[in-house]
Amino acid sequence: MDLQSLAVVLRAALSHVPEERKAAEASLTQFQYTPQHLVRLLQIIVDGNCDMAVRQFASIHFKNFVAKNWSPTDPESDKSMVRENILGFVTQLPPLLRAQLGESIKTLILADYPEQWPSLLPWVTHNLESQDQIFGALFKSEDERIPLYQIVEECFPRLLNILRNLVPISNPPIEVADLIKLICKIFWSSIYCIVSIVTKNSMYQLMQPQIDIILFEIIFPLMCFNDSDQMLWDEDPHEYVRKGYDIIEDLYSPRTAAMDFVSELVRKRGKSNLQKFIHFIVEIFMRYNEASIEVKPYRQKDGALLAIGTLCDRLKQTEPYKAELERMLVQHVFPEFSSHIGHLRAKAAWVAGQYAHINFSDQNNFRKAMHCVISGLRDPELPVRVDSVFALRSFVEACKDLDEIRPILPQLLDEFFKLMSEVENEDLVFTLETIVDKFGEEMAPYALGLCQSLAAAFWRCMASSEADEEVEDTGALAAVGCLRAISTILESISSLPHLFPQIEPTLLPILRRMLTSDGQDVYEEVLEIVSYMTFYSPTISLEMWGLWPLMMEALNDWAIDFFENILVPLDNYISRGTDQFIACKDPDYQQSLWRALSSIMTDQNMEDSDIIPAPKLIEVVFQNCKGQVDHWIEPYLRLTIDQLRRAVKPYLKSLLVQVIANTLYYNPSLTLGTLHKLGVATEIFNLWFGMLQQVKKSGIRANFKREHDKKVCCLGLTSLISLPANHIPPEALERIFKATLELLVSYKDQVAESKRENEAAAEDLDGFDGDEEDEDIESDKEMGYDDEDGDEVSSVNLQKLREARGFQPHYDDDDDDSDDDFSDDEELQSPIDEVDPFIFFVDTIQAMQASDPARFQSLMQTLDFRYQALANGLAQHAEERKVEIEKEKLEKANAQ
C-alpha cells in the first residue's frame, strides 16, 4: 500500500459510517506487516499538510503496532529506517502527536539499545548542545537508561546547564515550561533511583563510598526549608498548606523523595548509617542553641526536625535513642512552640504529634506539649494552625485523662470549624473524627452543631472542586472526610435516637443530591449516613422514604458496584418501616424492589458476586412481611430457581436455597404448592439435601456455613414438617426429619463454639494493655510497620452497621478443598431472632404427635438408634433453652 492509499485508508478508519470504518480497519490489519508500512506511517504523522485527525490516528496505530510487534529478535526490515528517523521526527511534532511517538521510542529503547541502536547516545548528547533540538534529546534521556553510567556522565552536566539557562526566562512559552518539567522529572527520578538502590546489596556497595556526600550534602539540604517555601508561606499560605498535605504533590516532591531515602536507608542500612545521621542532626541542634538569634540556622533546624519526625518509628523502637526521646523533645522541640519563626512553630507541632504516643516519664511534659499544640490552633499563621490540628489528633488518641481536654472542648470545636472554613483538608476531619470517637456520647450536646458545620464544609468543598479543576482532588478528599466525620458523629449518638430527627433536616439536602449520579465519588459514604439515619431514628420519616426511589434508580442504572452498600439501608426501610413498605403505592416500593432485583438476577452478564445482595434482600422481605406478601411468593421463587440453576459459587447457591427456606417459613403450604406448580419440587429438594450433605476434605460443611444459614434452613425444613400428611408423603417426611435433626445438632455445636470463642476473646481483651509499647524490640532489628496503613479511607462504621443488621461480608469459596472453617460471630437482627429453632422444632413435632399420633408413631419407627438419640438430645436441649429464655426475660425486666 503506497503512501496516498494509506492516508485514504486512515481517513476512512475515522468515518462515522460503521461499514466504511470496519473495512478500513480490516485493510490496516491486512497490510500492517508489509514492508515500509511503519515508515509510511511515520511520514504521514510528520506531514504538516495532512489532516490532524488522520495524523493522530496514524500515530496511535503506529504506537500500538510497535508495542505489540517490536522485538529485538525480529528481522530488521524497515526497523533501522524507523530508528534513524523517529528521533528527528519527535522534535518536529505538536504535543498531541509527540506523546504517541514518545511511547513508541520507549519501546524501541527497551528492545534495541545499546546493541541495535549504538547511535542513540551520541545523538542525544549532540542535540543537548543544539538549542533547537533540546526537547528531542531530553525525551530520550528520561527513558530507560542502559548502560546507566555512560548516560549519566554524558547527559547530566548538559541537562543542568540547560536548566540554568531556561529558568531565568521571563514569561516562558509552553515549550520552555515543558522542557523545564522534563529536566526536573529526570533529576527527581534519579533521587528515587537512589532510594531503590539502598535495598540492593550490589548497587548499595557501589554507592557506599559516596553515601556521606549523598546523605549530608544532597539529601539533607532537600529536607530543609528553602526560599521557595518561604515565598509560598508568605504569599499564598493556603497553597503552602495544600502542597504540604497533597499526596499527588508528594509524588513529585524532591523533599518527599529525600525523606523516603532517609527512611529506607535507616530501615535497611541502619547499623552503618543511623548513628552518624543522628549525630549530624544533634550537631545542628547544638549549633542552633549556641548561635545568637541573628545567625541561628533556622532552616537547618527545620530540616533536622523533619528528619527526627520522619524517623520517629525507628527511634521509638531503638536503643539508646528511645530512652532519650522525651529529653530531646523538651530540649529541642518544645522551645520552638514559642519561636518567632513561623515554620519552626509548625514543625514543632508536627514533630510533637509524631511522638505523642511515647511513654512520658513526666506527664507534665505530655500536658505541656498537648496544650502548646492546642494553643497553635489560634496561631496567626495558617500553616501553624493546620499542623497543630494534625498533631492534636495524636495527642487526643494518646491522652489517658480526658479531663485535660474536656473543659475546653467547646472552644476546641469552635477553632476547628473556623479552620475548616478556611482550608479544605481531610486531615482536619481526621482529627475531628478522633475527638468524636474518644468522647462518644459526651458529644451529644454538640452533635447538631457539628453536623451543621460539617454539612456547610461539605458544600464548600464541593463548590470549590467544581469551580476549580486544580483543587478538585483536594476538595473531593475533604468532602469525603466531612461525610465520614458525620457518620462518626451519628455512631457516637447511636444510643440517643431522639437526636436523629433534629439532625435529619441538615443532612437531607446532601443525601438527595449525592444519591444521584452526582455523588458517585462519595456514594459509599452517603449510603453509610442513610444507613445510620434509617437504623437509629425512632421512625423513618416520609422525607427519608423519599430517598428510596433515588437508590433504586441508581441501582438500576450505574450503582451495581455499590449493591452491597445499598443493601443495608434498604433492609432498614423494609424492617423498620414495614407498614409503609407494604401500604404505599405511590411510589410502589414493593414493585420498584422487584424490578431492580429481577433485572439484576436475570442479567446474564452479572457475576455471582454481583448478585449476592439480591437473595439477602428477598429474605428481608419475607421475614419482615409475614402474611402480607403472598402475591410475591411465585415471582420471587421463579427468579430464585432460575438463578440457582446458573449459580456457580457455593455461597450464592446457599443464599438462594435460603430464599426457598424463608418462603417455607413464611407460608409452607403456599410455597410447596408453588414449587409443585412450577414442576421443580423434587429438583429443589434433591439439590438442597445434597448441599446439606456435602463436606470438604477436612470434614466441615461445604455449604450453609454461618449460624444464620443453618437457622434459616432449620426453620424452613421444620415448617415443612408442620404440613399435614396429604402434603408430605412418609418417605419425604422421614428425609426432611433426619436432615433437620442433623442440621440442628450442627447449629447447636456452632453456637456453643462461638460462645466459647467470644468468652476467650473477652478474657484476652481484659488482659491486654493497649497503651504499653513493646519494650523488647532489638535496636537494629529490621522493621516494617503497618501502623499508617490504618489511615486508608474505609467504611469501618458501615461494616459495624452491616453486622448489626446481620450482614457479614461474604467470602468467596473458590477453593472447595480449603480446610479453613467459616466462622461468624454476628448476632443477626431480624424477626427470626426471637425464634429458637430447637423449641420451634420440638413444638412442631409435639403438635404432630397431638394431631396425628399414627403419623408421629410411624415416623419414630423409621429412626435408628442414632437418630432417636439425636431427637431425644434436642428435645432436652429445647427444654433447657426455654428455661434460659425465661431467665433472660426476667433479667431484662429487672434491669429496666
The tens digit of pLDDT for each residue in 760-801 reads: 887 776 654 444 444 443 434 433 333 333 333 334 455 555
Q: What's the grid cell of residue 162?
A: 540547560
pLDDT at 85: 77
Please choose, from the candidates 618, 619, 558, the residue with its C-alpha nearest in 3D space to the C-alpha of residue 593: 618
Of how many residues is the chain composed?
A: 896
The CATH number that applies at residue 379 is: 1.25.10
Q: Return the HEC string of 482-523.
A: HHHHHHHHHHHCCCCHHHHHHHHHHHHHHHHHHCCHHHHHHH
CA distance 34 to 13: 19
Range of the domain at 368: 207-400
Q: 282: burial class by Cβ within 10 Å (0-12, 13-18, 19+)?
A: middle
Residues sharing a CB contact under 8 Å with residue 563, sequence separation 6 or more, in sequence order: 555, 600, 610, 613, 614
pLDDT-flagged residues of the chain (< 70): 1, 71-77, 91, 121, 123-154, 175, 188, 190-192, 248, 467-475, 765-828
Please choose, from the candidates 519, 524, 525, 516, the residue with its C-alpha nearest in 3D space to the C-alpha of residue 546: 516
Q: At what angle do helices 633-646 and 650-666 cross, to 10 degrees?
A: 160
Residues 305, 378: one domain? yes
Residues 289, 196: one domain? no
Instruction: State whether the Cα torsion 66-72-73-75 is positive or negative.
Output: positive
Boundary of a domain, candidates 206, 238, 265: 206
Residues 755, 821: one domain? yes
The 3-state DSSP class for residue 805 equals helix
Residues 241, 121: one domain? no
Q: Prior bond to 615 cis, omega within 30?
A: no
In a domain, 773, yes or no: no
Query: Using an 8 Å Cβ cutoff, are 464 and 424 in contact?
Result: yes
Residues 637, 714: one domain? yes
CA distance 466 to 461: 9
Residues sharing a CB contact under 8 Å with residue 355, sequence separation 6 or more, in sequence order: 312, 316, 325, 329
Residues 216, 173: one domain? no
Query: Using an 8 Å Cβ cutoff, are 455 and 432 in contact?
Result: no
Query: Using an 8 Å Cβ cutoff, are 70 and 108 in contact?
Result: yes
Residues 216, 134: one domain? no
**507-to-482, 527, 681, 750 alpha-carbon distances in Å:** 12, 12, 49, 42
Residues 22, 60: one domain? yes
Instruction: Enter the DSSP assignment of 774.
Output: P
Boundary of a domain, candidates 400, 423, 442: 400
pLDDT at 850: 96
CA distance 92 to 88: 7
Q: 883: burial class by Cβ within 10 Å (0-12, 13-18, 19+)?
A: exposed
Q: Containing H/E element for 835?
A: none
Residues sharing a CB contact under 8 Å with residue 820, sequence separation 6 or more, in sequence order: none
Q: pTM for the full model?
A: 0.71
pLDDT at 781: 41
Residue with cell 429412626: 863
In a domain, 409, yes or no: no
CA distance 465 to 471: 6
Please choose, from the candidates 607, 621, 567, the residue with its C-alpha nearest in 3D space to the C-alpha of residue 808: 567
pLDDT at 820: 37
Task: Give the pLDDT confidence of 663-690 residue by residue, as tens digits.
Answer: 999 999 999 999 999 999 999 999 999 9
Residues 201, 235: one domain? no
CA distance 819 to 336: 58
pLDDT at 125: 65
Boundary of a domain, candidates 355, 383, 400: 400
The 3-state DSSP class for residue 383 equals helix
In a domain, 872, yes or no: yes
In a domain, 420, yes or no: no
Residues 310, 172: one domain? no
Residues 382, 244: one domain? yes
In a domain, 97, yes or no: yes
Q: Return the HEC string of 8-47.
A: HHHHHCCCCCHHHHHHHHHHHHHHCCCCCHHHHHHHHHHC
Q: 678: burial class by Cβ within 10 Å (0-12, 13-18, 19+)?
A: middle
In a domain, 538, yes or no: no
The CATH number that applies at residue 90 is: 1.25.10.10
Number of domains in the chain: 3
In a domain, 736, yes or no: yes
pLDDT at 468: 61
In a domain, 578, yes or no: no
Q: What's the grid cell of residue 109?
A: 529503547
| Count of other CB atoms within 10 angstroms of residue 871 | 21
Residues 658, 630: one domain? yes
CA distance 67 to 60: 11
Instruction: State whether the Cα torsion 724-729-734-736 is positive or negative.
Output: negative
pLDDT at 53: 84
CA distance 388 to 378: 9
